[in-house]
Amino acid sequence: MGQASIIQAPHRSLRAGSLLLSASLLASSIVACGNSGRDDKAGGTGPLPIGAAIALTGNASVIGQDQRIGLELARDHFQGNVQGKGRALDLTIQDGGSDEGTATNAFRSLIGANVVALIGPSLSQQAFAVDPIADRAGIPVIGPSNTATGIPEIGPFVARVSAPVAQVAPLSIAAALRLNPKIRSAAVFYAQDDAYSTSESQIFQQALIARNLKPVAVIRTSVSDTDFQSQITETLRRNPDLIVISGLPSDGGNLVRQLRELGFKGTLVAGNGMNSPNIYSICQRFCDGLLIAQAYSPESNTPINRAFVAAYTKARGGAVPPQFSAQAFTAYQVIAETLSRLQVSLPAGATLAALPRAELRRRLNTALLKGRFQTPLGEIRFTPEGEVIQNQFYVAQVRMNPDGRSGRFQLLPTVPTP
């Protein structure tokens, strides 16, 4: 995983093939597009470098694809609003892979390029490994999709725009029971080698117990598994009405498909790891009916969401934006808007780029945690620890078209959160 590194030159769209660079070329390109290498004095008025490390390869790459689009749209949307004119921020998107090693390399090279802030990595499993590196370096990190319990607590420079599993996951269990009040028994599958999956599964299991649905089976899988026949056969003998899955797109998608192929007719709930239309190619027509809680609604009628949806729809041939694109857009937005607010607070003629980089990062971190932002996710702000405070969540049901290749995430009617 993560062998081919992909780098996006600032303000250019990523085209397959043309930007596949070797590791050494990659490292030098990143330094070249940063402002001032490792020098703490940024000096001058140039664009401020922002780094993003997301999963463009490996098991989570279908999620990284959604994130890349969100970041590119945000980069274009907030272009130029930090220092008044011209290019304000230089976004470098680097492949953080789907494993800790690739994410570590990506964070290290972006830090080497003297970035003001980091967005990423895609997975909580990676965040627990790499966020401490950025935190120790005093660089604000915004998690665009890290939902496991404990992420903001990694350190003072770590925050996230992705609401935690504890808040989101139980909503899909509630929705399953609303759709089918006859559910009496449940089975749980989770990828035991992934931090998000383990964390989310604990929340799912608590939610099941709270509703008197003690799991009849808890099956531990791996994110690298693709064949689940024997575990499924064993589980289906226990006749669960509901099966709840926490895994990443490839293992989770294969599990969904094989559960249906082996005859499971009950309700299926999946967690955040399958929260992308890119799962269609994995579970195909068997994705139909899957329930997944959401931290984003494309239907939200606010100016920023309308602008985001319009830009996404235009860029993607009419498609509706998925949650991971909206969250990645939001991660960039909170950085861009906070830098913009900081710039306004400087004396006339002064620039953020002229501040010592460490000082700029400290100011950014402090102001970001105190800020309030109108984003595609709704209004958000942060706790002093960096946990996102968000008000509205949703549950979607996947509806596949007869071709078994295309479909949609249809939002269920919202119910007030207790």
Q: Which residues bind ligand 1QQ (CB under 6 A)?
A: 60, 63, 122-124, 145-148, 196, 272-273
Residues whose CB is less than 8 angstroms from the CB of residue 406 and which lie 6 or more positions away in sequence, other chains included: 280, 400
Beta partners for residue 141, in sequence order: 118, 158
Angle at 166 between CA 128 and CA 163, to 5 degrees: 70
Which pairing describes strands 20-21 and 5-8: parallel, antiparallel, or unpaired?
antiparallel
If the CB atoms of residues 34 and 271 are measured against ligand 1QQ, the closer one turns out to be: 271
Length of the chain: 418
Instruction: Report the 10 Å Cβ neighbour count for 307.
Output: 14
Distance of closest approach, residue 236 Cβ to ligand 1QQ, in angstroms: 26
What is the nearest approach in angstroms of ligand 1QQ to the Cβ of residue 57? 14
Closest approach of Cβ 350 to ligand 1QQ, in Å? 38
> Is the CB of 231 or the CB of 327 nearer to ligand 1QQ?
327
Helices (H), 53-99: 61-77
Q: Which is nearer to ligand 1QQ, 7 or 60 (CB)?
A: 60
What's the min distance (Å) between Cβ of 290 and ligand 1QQ? Answer: 15
Task: For ligand 1QQ, give the closer residue by CB, 57 or 340.
Answer: 57
Token duo for residue 196: 């998000």
Structure tokens at 70: 């969100």
To ligand 1QQ, the closest distance from the beta carbon of 37 in angstroms equals: 31
Neighbours of 281 (CB within 10 A): 14
Closer to ligand 1QQ by Cβ: residue 146 or 305:
146
Residue closer to ligand 1QQ (CB basis): 151 or 355: 151
Smallest separation (angstroms) from ligand 1QQ to the CB of 254:
16
Provide the 10 A C-beta neighbour count for residue 28: 11
